[in-house]
């Protein structure tokens, strides 16, 4: 279990500044899909109840239809929760020293990576399209200095504000590093004595 007060490999004086997940719109899509996939068959069954009732009481078709129906609704329930888990476990944690990126892709693929703030060269906020403009969500791209690697904060709330905070934190981290006589080699921060 992740605890924001006890991050993995937490450094001295490291504090969590931002904890980000995809915007609520992502969860709304999952809920709407669940309601449609479970509600539409139930509505159809209710509308054609006389026929469905005949089928259900048939000694041959009744058990088969019930099994198929049970399998269908269990699948809808499980798929919804797998999608939700995917949403819930996709997180970005910005501290005053680093960015931690955790991505869950299905149940069997998980990526966790981190980046020192001092290694960040460029931060870009992107709001694209009607929905993102109206609901003020979008992407933030964090580009590192030495490599072509980018961290993507996908469909997060208020990306411009997040970009400003990250930029400020990067500046602060670079100043702190310089004041301590440290250096940055690639993505590795070497602290001075």
Partner 1 sequence: MFDLQTFSVPVSIFLIPYGLYMAVFIFYCFFNIYHLIRYGLYGFGLYIIITIFAGGTILLVSGSIFILKEYDWSQPIFLNNIIETYSKDLFKSW
Q: Choose one: 46-54, 136-144, 154-162, 166-174; the region binding partner 1 (CB under 8 A).
A: 46-54
Choose which of 43, 81, 121, 164 interacts with partner 1 (CB under 8 A): 81
Three-state SS at 189: strand
Q: How many Å apart are CA 90 and CA 110, to the nearest integer?
A: 9
Residue 37's CB is within 10 A of a number of other CB atoms, namely 16
Nearer to partner 1, 19 or 171 (CB): 19
24 touches partner 1 by CB under 8 A: no
Choose which of 88, 113, 183, 192 interacts with partner 1 (CB under 8 A): 88
Nearest by Cα to 133 from 18, 23, 3, 1: 23
Strand order in the sheet with 137-144: 120-126, 137-144, 150-157
71 touches partner 1 by CB under 8 A: yes
Choose which of 29, 42, 43, 64 interacts with partner 1 (CB under 8 A): 64
Burial of residue 186, with CB atoms counted within 10 A of its CB: 0-12 exposed, 13-18 middle, 19 or more buried:
exposed
What is the 8-class DSSP label of residue 185?
Answer: E
78 touches partner 1 by CB under 8 A: yes
Cα 60 to Cα 49, 73, 113, 119, 147: the distances in Å are: 18, 21, 55, 67, 65
Q: How far is the CB of 153 from partner 1 (least distance, A)?
A: 17
109 touches partner 1 by CB under 8 A: no
1 touches partner 1 by CB under 8 A: yes
51 touches partner 1 by CB under 8 A: yes
37 close to 111: Cβ distance less than 8 angstroms: no
List residues near partner 1 by CB under 8 A. Answer: 1-4, 19, 50-51, 54-55, 58-64, 66-67, 70-71, 73-75, 77-78, 81-82, 84-85, 88-89, 91, 102, 104, 107, 110
């Amino acid at each position: 279990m992740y605890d924001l007060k006890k991050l993995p490999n937490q450094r001295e004086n490291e504090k969590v500044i931002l904890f980000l997940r995809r915007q609520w719109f992502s969860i709304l899509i999952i809920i709407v899909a669940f309601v449609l996939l479970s509600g539409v068959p139930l509505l159809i069954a209710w509308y054609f109840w006389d026929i469905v009732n005949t089928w259900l009481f048939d000694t041959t078709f009744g058990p088969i239809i019930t099994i198929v129906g049970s399998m269908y609704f269990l699948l809808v329930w499980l798929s919804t929760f797998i999608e939700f888990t995917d949403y819930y476990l996709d997180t970005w944690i910005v501290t005053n020293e680093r960015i931690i990126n955790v991505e869950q892709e299905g149940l069997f693929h998980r990526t966790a990576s981190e980046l020192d703030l001092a290694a960040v060269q460029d931060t870009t906020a992107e709001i694209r399209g009607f929905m993102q403009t109206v609901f003020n969500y979008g992407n933030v791209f964090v580009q590192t200095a030495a490599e072509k690697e980018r961290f993507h904060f996908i469909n997060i709330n208020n990306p411009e504000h997040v970009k400003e905070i990250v930029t400020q934190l990067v500046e602060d981290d670079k100043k702190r590093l310089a004041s301590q006589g440290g250096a940055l080699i690639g993505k590795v921060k070497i602290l001075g004595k």
